Structure 1
Amino acid sequence: MIRKLNYVGIPTRDQDRALAFWTEIMGFVIATDRPVGEKRWIELTIPGAQTGLLLFTPEGHEDRIGTFFNGSFGCDNVQYEYDRLSARGVTFLGPPRTKPFPHVYFNDPDGNTFFLSSR
């Protein structure tokens, strides 16, 4: 029986830049960082969550870099996270919205767009 989703992949051109963004700015923690050919297999954990991120772009999937992430990050207070992450340099596509529930969109350094909500 499947019990959880281990990680979701975030496509990236520059693994070092992505790693710095997701750990130093977003606050995620390195679980695995090991070589895989010319790239690295980098798994990150989200403190307090079971699902993590994978900063790895498989060969032939480079066209996914800079697209919309088909998922959602959750938090307790979108406005608080917006203020906190804006101060740390995160690029948002606009201020938080409250309808139909609190949410906001942000970008990573590769131009991937993410959805953050509290509901």
Structure 2
Amino acid sequence: MIAKIGQVMVYVRDQDVAATFWTEKMGFTVLQDQDNDGMRWIEIAPRGDADTSIVLQDKNLLEQMDTGLSLETPSLLFYTDEFEQMYNDLAEKSVTVGDIVDMPPGRTFNFADAEGNYFAVLETR
């Protein structure tokens, strides 16, 4: 089902300041800086070929969207190439799953563990 941990999402108030910190102070590389209809995300990694990356998400925008996610700690984004099957399997197992949402990088949904911690899944293509 889950192929790998693809991204860690970090929720920040100022994406540009955060990106500058990670690139100039920590030596990370910007892999993507995309804006789609006002939803911007900046993907960074220690190297261009890293298996896992950090995505700097706009905390202000996500608060307005009222996603139900805890924005105080980073979130994990899992990758799967069995998207529909994973969504259906989790729902059948009475796991709390969110709606499937089309995002610029692909389809995604959230799920919660037994303590109400939310995680995200992205369809890999």
TM-score, scaled to structure 2: 0.45
Q: TM-score, normalised on structure 1?
A: 0.47
Question: Which one has a larger percent strand, Structure 1 or Structure 2?
Answer: 2
